[in-house]
Structure 1
């Protein structure tokens, strides 16, 4: 337990240093953003943008209107051809190129198709394409689009991985598929939002959120799942218990938190441009924190005594007990670690897409898909599966409507399991 506390403390310290970067810190400046003319004070956490070029030259002064959900604003390209419109939050929007603002000699490649339907959901920044001119692309080539989607998918996959590893560790040591795991993610996001809304220091809010999430994991095992193990309750019955717990927690969140979407204000509003991708500094920090935490989990499982004991229990609990390992203690530590990781995942996911009462349940199927794809009970498999799911879902939006992205991930899961039933990093099980 001391090792876990030490690892979590170190990770939180790293997180503190990252988030301690002031809003006006020197970072790689994004190209001059487009000017926005509109009404209302909207959050800069979500935005729609792109770049307009005529050949290889950026075009300045082109206007693009963005509307949706009662929101309306106009973005204008700057000297570098870039434009961006900050939108209030997740939802469906329509971006329209104002053709009459294009300079002489520049025209849309397809004059009858100058609108784009944009959905802000799991991605907080969306770039849209408006091809102009003969044989030129306005907002980048297909390679720019592929890179953008890949980057967003990598970001999403890293966020999934923190929560998916928790599912994998619990399943590996207990055999339980915890359908209330999504609510552990939601718990972390809601608690963090409440602390920041009360004006608490963001670093203290993160520390307490992770601690309370770890306590939630401890409580679930101590109050519910350990007594069920002691009584020899079957895994099917325990599965039904987790489903019931999920429903109870979810509607408690709805009762106390209501059904709206809340954005977390960290005070960090800078954007960072990486090639054709423009993302918030918060997203970059979140990716860094995810990578650091995943590295710590790898170290814990491979280099510490408790981590090796965890792997031994996952391989064969009876043999581990016969070897002198306290299986119940290992399981309790796994629940604490899973709660802390999933709570932190909720914090980062809440920063990524906003906080809702059912946010964990909405991606629960993706979490299980990632764990199954990587290999049941394998923490490293959960990481690989999460990255595959995250990248595939984002890349698929190039050719299909964004609402169908999760279906593509499940199709990929089915395809992989048909040829490799144990998953990417899973072990073949001997039957009979």
Structure 2
């Protein structure tokens, strides 16, 4: 019963979130207009999401025809378009290439029409991939620089969350499979305060980080420390984190549904860096990531608590014998890791929008970054995250966007075959 109470206690903030979102008005961009009867069973929609890589495309037009019906849907700022149709049946959805922004083209210009069957469902989403299948030699350099900049941004925000995983593993040897939900928590809490409730940007970020820090405290104080005191093994503790991950993930689904939400930062201006054009929000997020990572480095190398953290990570028994309060250091690590991960969630939500499953979708990449850099090494997590981020983005020059994560994991396998301890990891004697 105590463990059950602990699990419920760690998710109290998520339950508050569910109540807050549940009473908030839905976004007009992602909710189709209902039929006159207002009955869900008589509401039929065709829609989708159109992006250039990870950048939503606004103002793109898609024509939906069929059953004597003809209407054009237009993407909003989040790249989503929705067309309500009068009845079930067969329709066609056609992308209008002339509405695409300059420099963006359908990946397959001869295949821009989709057949849509609404006979067995009320809603169908269709996909129109953009981006040229091959890159000309003259444009290769500018395309490569653009992808590297996007990859650097992605890698930096991955690093904030991956360092949290690495610190927790280093001090407790626990692989926390609920870490992805800590990323989602930061994004969703910021969505509530910054977008739904209209709290100014800086206070909304501060509230999000405080609540994120509290979840780190709660997970250790109410769940993992009691498990350690009872002598629960690492495998059992890991399974507890898997259960917590599943529970919290579906709390998010219940709270915000399956829609994709856009964070309102007010930083919508575009900034040109060489051949790349990114939003001011992305540029600011890169700067914030660099500053925070620098502060973490100083904390670990120049402060007494940071040095004690490294000592516990190296050898907790020896650290305890030296007078270090290991339990207190672990508590600090959980709070720090949750705070960094909450910040990562905010930045990731700005980078790729918010949905209930966003943290879980990158959890494998986070573990890959930590493993690639070296288990338990915070600086290794940074290196691994940058490699993963840049590789995933640059690989889209040659392969479909949906396969980019597979390339990053392939790089992980190849590196570990050559250097099993990771880039900055240390060899350990086995047996």
CA contact (8 A) 1:96 1:115 kept: no
Instruction: Tell me which residue corresponds to 2:175.
Output: 177
How far the C-alpha of 1:94 sits from its partner, in A, is: 8.8
Distance 1:310 1:94, change over 3 A: farther
- 1:229 and 1:71 map into 2 onto residues whose CA distance is 59
Cα distance 1:95–1:375, how it changes in 2: closer, same or farther (>3 A)? farther
Structure 1 contact 268–282 (Cα < 8 Å) conserved: yes
What are the within-5 Å matches in structure 2 for residues 72-221 of structure 1?
87-89=77-79, 114=109, 128=131, 141-196=139-194, 197-221=196-220
Asked whether the 8 Å contact 1:95–1:116 carries over to 2, the reply is no
Structure 1 unmatched runs, 5+: 1-41, 50-63, 74-84, 103-111, 118-125
Structure 1 counterpart of 2:391: 392
CA RMSD of aligned residues (A): 3.3
How far apart are the structure 1 equivalents of 2:367 and 2:284? 26
Instruction: Name structure 2 gaps, 5 residues minimum.
Output: 1-49, 65-70, 82-92, 113-128
For residue 147 of structure 1, report the CA deviation from its aligned partner. Answer: 0.7
Residue 254 and residue 384 in structure 1: after superposition, are their counterparts in 2 closer, same or farther (change >3 A)? Answer: same
Superimposed CA distance per residue, residues 12-66 of structure 1 (whole angstroms, 9 cap, x where no aligned partner): xxxxxxxxxxxxxxxxxxxxxxxxxxxxxx99x94449xxxxxxxxxxxxxx966
8 Å Cα contact 1:96-1:116 kept in structure 2 = no
Deviation at 1:88, TM superposition (A): 3.0
Aligned equivalents of 2:218 and 2:403: distance in 1? 37
**Partner of residue 267, structure 2:** 268
Q: From the superposition, tell whether residues 247 and 113 of structure 1 become closer, same or farther in structure 2 (CA, over 3 Å).
A: closer
CA distance in 2, matches of 1:258, 1:195: 18
CA deviations 1:395-421 (Å, max 9, x no partner) are: 111111111111111111010000100
1:86 deviation in Å? 6.7
Deviation readout 1:352-406 (Å, 9 max, x if unpaired): 1111111100100000000000000000000000000001111111111111111
Contact 1:250 1:357 in 2 (8 A): yes
User: 1:399 and 1:367 mapped to 2: Cα distance?
Assistant: 24
Between the aligned partners of 1:415 and 1:353, the Cα distance in structure 2 is 28
Alignment correspondent of 2:8: none
Conservation of the 8 A alpha-carbon contact between 1:215 and 1:336: yes
Q: Write the distance in 1 (CA, Å) between the matches of 2:178 and 2:349.
A: 18
The residue aligned with 1:403 is 402
**What secondary structure sits across from 1:302 in the alignment?**
helix
SS of 1:278's equivalent? strand
CA distance in 2, matches of 1:343, 1:113: 38
Which residue of the partner structure matches residue 244 of structure 1? 243
Q: Indicate conservation of the 8 Å contact 1:90/1:353, yes or no.
A: no
8 Å CA contact 1:68, 1:94 repeated in 2: yes
Three-state SS of the structure 2 residue aligned to 1:247 is: helix
Instruction: Tell me, in whole angstroms, the C-alpha distance in 1 between the residues paired with 2:110 and 2:288.
Output: 37
CA contact under 8 A between 1:164 and 1:367: conserved in structure 2? yes
Q: Distance in 1 between matches of 2:290 and 2:111?
A: 34
The match for 2:277 is: 278
Paired with 1:90 and 1:345, the residues of 2 have a C-alpha distance of 24
**Superposition deviation, residue 430 in structure 1:** 1.1
SS in 2 for 1:225: helix
Is residue 357 of structure 1 aligned with residue 356 of structure 2?
Answer: yes
Deviations 1:266-307 (CA, angstroms, capped at 9, x unpaired): 122200011111110000000000000000000000000000
What TM-score do you get using the length of structure 1 for normalisation? 0.73
